[in-house]
Amino acid sequence: MLTECRHDIAEMELAELEQALETLGRPRFHGRQLFQWIHKRGVTDFGEMTDLGRELRSTLAAEFRIITPEVIRRERSIDGTMKFLLRLEDGQLIESVFIPDTPSNTFCLSTQVGCAMRCGFCLTGKMGIIRNLTAGEIAGQVRVLTRELDMLHSRFNVVLMGMGEPLHNYDATMKALRILADGHGLSVNPRRVTLSTVGVLPALERLATEPLMPNLAISLHATTEDQRDLLVPINRKYGLKELLDACRSFPVKRRERITFEYVMLKDVNDTDEDARRLVRLLNGIRAKVNLLPLNEAAGIPHERPSDARVNRFAQILAERGIVVSVRKSRGRDIRAACGQLITESTRQKSPGQLLASLMSV
């Protein structure tokens, strides 16, 4: 009987996989073949890897596993956005989102089950942190979405803006990005990847030294220390000034900018003075601002500002030379929009009970 001590090779980078095959007394190039089967062709059954000998396939099945998140439910929004509820091997649940035509097709990935940041306008933070995802589980979401959407050979972008704080799970997140970027796999260019963070400063400073550098998006959401302390609690540890100083020294590629995400909350952070303060805060940073009018939801004690207020805020930024856009919410009707991802029923039911209830829907 196969045991759970078998290693998950979907968790391995190419060099690790080559080393694993060499340890079995096999040529390293078999590792490259395996990597291509899993990450380029989306094949997870050793028996279907037809350019590998039958004996090798049998050995691989005995020594290794290929763990892939399981699709439990998929929902489609009226705007074409799709949300996938995925079950992990231990029964934990996460959500991933496909956003078409943005202007490219985009996969929004989760990096944790839940989130420890507890931002005041985000449902995921209501879950608290359950556990980090592995690199294989993060990259595995892409394998699942490309299979489900028949996009294995299509171009797409990746945003790490789903459940969790990517820099709170730094090593697994970066390993997943290296797996996705590998030329023997899906070859997802780092320029097509955006990592969003509330500002975990030690990890942000470490990210600045990485040879593989995704685009950076900072979840800012406030223009004063007191305001951000309330909305983004990690600000009490890593303050607004320190965060912006780190952004000023962050290596931004030529013709690129750091994106600052700003969720707009009615009568909280949406005033003209907030807009003018934001301009001053971003002085000296090659920045662009994405304004995100709040996606209202039960349990979130804030309201969405009017379109007129959002437009006025954007106008103030633009008149002062800030590149600004107002993000159109996608998937709000299926609770797939920014800040709406939550699997709250996991806190009330066992994985088996939850799976049974979902399958009966």
Tell me which of 115, 119, 247, 338 is the catalytic residue.
Answer: 338
> Annotated catalytic residue: which of 95, 137, 165, 261?
95
Active-site residue 119, yes or no? no
Write out the chain in H/E/C secondary structure: CCCCCCEEHHHCCHHHHHHHHHHCCCCCHHHHHHHHHHHHCCCCCHHHCCCCCHHHHHHHHHHEECCCCEEEEEEECCCCCEEEEEECCCCCEEEEEEECCCCCCEEECCCEEECCCCCCCCCHHHHCEEEECCHHHHHHHHHHHHHHCCCCCCCCEEEECCCCCHHHHHHHHHHHHHHHHCCCCCCCCHHHEEEEECCCHHHHHHHCCCCCCCEEEEECCCCCHHHHHHHCHHHHCCCHHHHHHHHHCCCCCCCCCEEEEEEECCCCCCCHHHHHHHHHHCCCCCEEEEEEECCCCCCCCCCCCCHHHHHHHHHHHHHCCCEEEECCCCCHHHCCCCCCCCCHHHHCCCHHHHHHHHHCC
Confirm whether 338 is a catalytic residue. Answer: yes
Residues with catalytic annotation? 95, 338
